[in-house]
Amino acid sequence: MTRVKAWVSAARLRTLPLSISGIIVGSALAYNAGVFRWDICILALLATLGFQILSNFANDYGDGVKGTDNHERIGPARAMQSGLLTAKQLKNGMAFTTMLTLLISIALIYTAFGSTHFLQSVLFFVLGLLAILAAIKYTVGKGAYGYRGLGDFFVFIFFGLVSVVGTYYLYAVEFKTVVLLPAITIGLLSIAVLNLNNMRDRLSDARANKNTLAVALGAKNVKYYHYFLIIGAFTSSLVFFQITQTYKWSAVAFLVFIPLFKHLIYVAKNESPALLDPELKKVALSTFFFSLLFTVGFLF
């Protein structure tokens, strides 16, 4: 495999659609409010992709040096695990991605707020730094929060609340409580993807002392937790469309819950963690298509 293909593999392109789902939803809400701008949209998408790729590089490096990625792991082979990239190369890639993403974030903040909203600029700059720190510390270092069962919490904060509410605020420079509901939907569905990953790797993670929430809950209870995530996302959307009649055409996004509820039946019957791997793609793409259908609804 060439060096370029190795970096593409480490970037894990299949994770990228999920990462921008919140940006798409926040932008759709801004479009409906009449404050959408293409320059903010493009920069927000690029910054989010940078955060996700940084997280993927850091995850590859962190699990690699800790020995968590080994022959027992079920998912796709990692770049460091398979010898495509060295630890030093991944660290250099993390440093480059961090700097590039930080520059894009600064450009995004200036484009959105200019020089007239100092406090908002500082707040979003701090959020950018926290997002970079969260991307790296998921598996890197002794205090890696992904090894302490806190991955779900940080995914909800950054993939849900910050992604949707933060994006809307960049456009509108105001906060609306109702925006929290689609943010909760995206956040819970994003956790569901992580939870599936952790359910799949539960046994090997436990042996490697990676104490994810799936390891802590056990085989039976983690399934109940997964049901809560999907049903919670559905309920949050239902409440949103019930109380916001101007968004009624975007209710077409409910279609994605048909395959998601079928997915829950599969999870309920599953006895082999390895067979959950294909379900990751289903939930991730369902979340992405939710954001697209949510947006398409506004065109009508």
Per-residue pLDDT tens over the stretch 1-13: 577 777 887 778 8
pLDDT of residue 71: 53
Residue 193, domain extent: 14-299
CA–CA separation, 192 and 35 (whole Å)? 31
CA–CA separation, 49 and 45 (whole Å)? 6
Of 16-30, 63-77, 143-157, 161-175, the range with the lowest mean pLDDT is: 63-77
Global pTM reads: 0.91
| Domain assignment present for 198 | yes
| Domain assignment present for 2 | no
- Residue 244 burial (10 A CB sphere; 0-12, 13-18, 19+): middle
Q: Per-residue pLDDT averaged across 15-28, rounded?
A: 94
pLDDT at 34 over 60: yes
| Domain assignment present for 7 | no
pLDDT of residue 295: 92
Q: Per-residue pLDDT averaged across 138-161, rounded?
A: 86
| Domain assignment present for 240 | yes
pLDDT at 25 over 70: yes
| Domain assignment present for 8 | no
Domain count, the chain: 1
> Got the DSSP string for 105-145?
HHHHHHHHHTTT-HHHHHHHHHHHHHHHHHHHHTTSSTT-G
| Domain assignment present for 9 | no
| Domain assignment present for 4 | no
| Domain assignment present for 5 | no
Characterise 70 by phi-psi region: left (phi > 0), alpha (psi -120 to 50), beta (else): beta
pLDDT of residue 267: 95
Work out the percent of the chain whose per-residue pLDDT is above 70: 92
What is the pLDDT confidence band of residue 149, given thresholds at 50, 70 and 90? confident
What is the pLDDT confidence band of residue 79, given thresholds at 50, 70 and 90? low
116 and 108 in contact (C-beta within 8 Å)?
Answer: no
63 and 76 in contact (C-beta within 8 Å)?
Answer: no
